Structure 1
Amino acid sequence: MQCFSNMKSMEQELLCPVCKDIVKQPIVLPCLHSVCLMCASEVLVQSGYPQPELPPEPNSPASTPNTRSPRQMRRPMPKSDRVDRLLRSGSGTYPGRRRKEGPPPLMLFPCAPCGRDVELGERGLAECMRNLTLERIVERYRHTVSLGSVAVMCQFCKPPQALEATKGCADCRASFCNECFKLYHPWGTPRAQHEHVQPTLNFRPKVLTCPEHDQERLQFYCKSCQMLLCSLCKLRRIHAGHKIAPVTQAYQTLKDKITKELNYILSNQDMVLTQITQLENAITQTEVRVSAKEQLSHCVKEIMALLTERQTMLAQALESSRQRRAEALTNQVAEKRSLLEHAGLMAFTQELLKENDPSSFVHAARITHNRLAQSIESMQRFSLSADPSFRHFQLDVSRELKLLTDLNFIQAPLAPVIDTQRTLAYDQLFLCWRSPQDSTPAWHYSVEFRRWGWQRLEEVTGTCAVIDRLEMDSVYVLRVRGCNKAGFGEYSEEVYLHTPPAPVLNFYLDSRWGLHADRLVVSKEQRCARSVPGLSLLQAADRALTSCHLTADLLVGDVAITQGRHYWACSVEPGSYLVKVGVGLESKLQEWFHLPQDMASPRYDPDSGHDSGAEDSSDSPPPFSFLTMGMGKIFLPSSANSHHTNANYRESGFTNGNGPSSPTGVTYPLPPRLGVCLDFEKGRVTFYDAHSLRPLWEGPVDCSAPVCPAFCFIGGGALQLQELVANRNANQTPVRRVTIQSRVTKLN
């Protein structure tokens, strides 16, 4: 009974997605879904492709009209409406091709479970192999659920005298009784050599064979292409270099995985039941939950009540204005009526003129004179005392109508947009974003980042976040999403940030080495410097008529490195003439400052790190290591040490600004920020594009004594040190700290 229940419950897994009936002669599509062979053929014909060549249908009792049972009747072809629904995705038609034309187009099959068109290839259904395992499962299902223990009858006996089959022929693909088997397989004929099998209702090949190479067994499995191969397919060039294993090994591996997954699910049935209960409760809540509907009705009632109250108030204001206007017009009518000949003011004036006493007349007639003058002026400049049209009492409800039209439930915020110009990785990760213009406001944001597994910063109120405690020389993935009363919105696009290869060194520009105030200016925070050629340089150039001499202004950091690996970054203004960024021995930098070199002298090359004096050994590392930038370019010297880094930078998509590389080096566009990494123990310095952390150039430097960050200005230019992310939100300037070793300046 338990076996019957299990078989009955899996009927949904045996249905064809086209005809919605139990599959018959199923084939496996490239998307790994199974469909009936006849259904697939009908769908392709409906799509406009020619009728595919199908293998002959097995002549089995299940397909023979005189032997099949009512429950085994051949199901009808898929209905046209179901086929039309499958074809709505729009597959291209194939009207046939003429001779001497190109290869036929690829056949597209609209797979219903995938919801998309699946490419079948040029050979169409001929490239899809039969699903023999599914056929065996269907046969066991039919035997358990539908047929029970019904005997297999002989296909060649007449119906009244039909006998039970005792033998089956794999070559004839039919079942026979003893007499019919002897009749159709006479002794001494080729049919007598046919393979005998047990009587069955469904004849199928014993093993899968290659659809391209007839009768070749599929003995290998390509892990790269995830397909079965025969011994001839294995030799093809398309599978060269692929991981190919025997099919028995793939069988055992896949069977072990499925067994492990099945055991895991069966051992966690309580979890499945709990999740089913939660889903059923959720469905029940969606059916009986009326709080949202009640809230909607309450909000609409509040709006209607407010509109009614506002309507009453506006109606009262309109009625008050009407009464005031009517009163003003009534008074004006009474005043005009008094000007009639025998009424009001006119009658009083006529009686006043009958007075003969001059003093009494003058005393009483002045006010009458004023009233008459006002009446005459009113007659000459007649106008209504109040506007009866009420044209100023018109409501402009366009904005309110638009608001009511846009009235909707609260929507979750749209995906934020990452500001890639402000987002960076330095001592900490600084992530900045903004909300789209048409997005609903977000109450707060959730920032997620990962190196191996996702971590989260909850309830970030602003539009930027700082992430600390990072691992060096690692790539982090970050994304953001907003949240409001409607819940969380969509994630932003993921952004990748590469952390520096070493701890970040925080230092300031040292202004204690006697800067030339007329040419070099350091900001108050001592993180920016600008070189401006002054009047002295102009006068020197005017006196030197035979050559042009440029001054080199040296600027160093206020730290001296004596151990470890350290990284810092800076940005050079693209309009700078020449700016050199690098490191050097503190003692040599002091000598260079007190004995400035002539930039036009052939004995000096700052990029080589030392001059051409005979006292320096050719095998010793140079005391300086600089990269030169200027006029929107960066110059990368050519050397054995920097060959691979130049190649990496070239692969990043930048092109050489001067065409083919010269023996001395190549130029590239100036990166937005330049990173410098010093390894004191190894005596190596590496320059990076600080935006992408791509290495630009690497070279040796003498680290036998304290080494300082150094900068050199030749002509006009500007430079700014990268500010620490930790100091961006500080209200005041942080206390300056020398993180490695305080450098003692010797000016004497």
Structure 2
Amino acid sequence: MEAVEDELRCPVCLELFECPIILPCSHILCRSPCAERLFVRESIRCPVCRDNSFVTGGVERLPRVISLEHIIDQFRIAPIEELVDESSDESESVEVASGPDDIQCQLCEERPPRKATQSCLHCNASYCQRCLALSHPNKEPFSQHRLVEPRKYPKPQELRCPQHHAKDILQENLTQAEECHTQLSQSITNHQESISNFQHKVSERRLQIMEQFDTLVNEVETKREFFLSDLEYEEKSRTDHLQQRVADYQKQTTDIASLMHYTKDVLKETEECAFIQSAKSVNEKVRRNLDSARVISTCAPAIALRHKVVDLRKERVAVKDIAYLSVPSTPEIDVSKVTRSNSSIVIVLCPPERDIDVLDAYKVYYCSEEQKKNNEQEILEFRTPGEERYLGRGTQGGGAVCLIHNNLESDTRFYFSVKAYNAAGESDMSEPINVITLSHAQNTIPVPEILEDQCRTYSYSIQIYSPSPLSIPPESGISHYLVYRESSLNKIWKSLLLYGRVDHRVFGLEPNTLYDFVIMACETWNGECQVSNQVTLRTERSAY
């Protein structure tokens, strides 16, 4: 009998089969949880023969062994029936609970019931030997029930006075009420602190907005004063010039009128000798005055103010577009333009998706191959120069935004990703890229050079001189870029393509400001580059 029982047990849980299913290798398992836990997607490895089987549809498609279920059901009943038969054979010796102190079986349907032989503390009931075998088979969860000698009350209940019970309930409710009161008080305190902090932040933000708008209004007022002052100066200078001309014309008119009066008197002279003597000098004076008078135009000069027109439609649109700051869009690295040398890597960013993106800085997260294994990384910050808030709209000549990282180890793989941020928050991280710096033997591009003594500075522009773009033939595939930024640590770089000339002028600079300049020679097909010497130049002071 024990050998048969071993065959009816699952090889995984070692219990009698529950909902048995047959595998393709002909071995049988319990469906739940044994077979379900062994399935990985639609594949299962038999725990008996170690055969891997693929079953389309998973455990749901494996057939049940109905006949085996019936055999197990009969097997479970058989020991009970044997026990019942044994108890029936001894029924003559089983005592009936007839005495007042006898514990009756609470499951017997016979009257009078049999005498209980054991009590179950879990069921809080007493059973005779036959009913115990029927109600508590040798399997979970009944095998965990605790059986004791028969008792009248197997699990006695605690008897308490109704008043004491009510008092305990009231005390428990009071404790809960006190805890609730404490929690509500703490919540009120936290909310009040949150309100106070929020009001403080709102006050700070209100002051910031007022300061920014006051600054904007002051700049508009300054511009208005400039235009009105310039117009007043133009009016005064032109009016003074015209008034001086009128005064000159009036003087000439007076002189001509006096000469006309004198000429008339000469014409009245009766003596011929006196007339001849006076007529010669009068003719010379009249001729001189007429020659100067003929130069004078009778038409007043046309006064135009075409170069003094102000059109603020674009600025009004900009004012209407003022809105709350939003988080910048995720930066995108232009992989096709990323270049490297043996000690530098130049990251070029694509224009932002939104033209209204306001950026305060970029954060470059990078690490070497060794640092990546140790979960280490470094951060390099590139800030926006001055008042340039809108980036990615292109610079002069269609240039791009560059992030140059110098002093790197040669022939080493580095991983880079970029974030953009402003006062409203940070963008998501860009897609990471990996770049390998060149070895000293790989970098064959000639190093460009800037001749600082031949560069020229102006108030709003700087002219850079470099013979390097002309020293390399066009068929070499090497392009030269002028890269510049405001001379300060951790500022972004802007780039301009140099078109085969020795000098290139950068416009749109601020007066009396230092700027850094370098020239990059790039071979875009393999991503190699060389960086020239860095030159720092200051723009001239503005005349205004």
Instruction: Pick the TM interval, shorter chain.
Output: 0.3 to 0.5
TM-score (norm 2): 0.35
Larger radius of gyration: 2
Structure whose residues are more often helix by fraction: 2
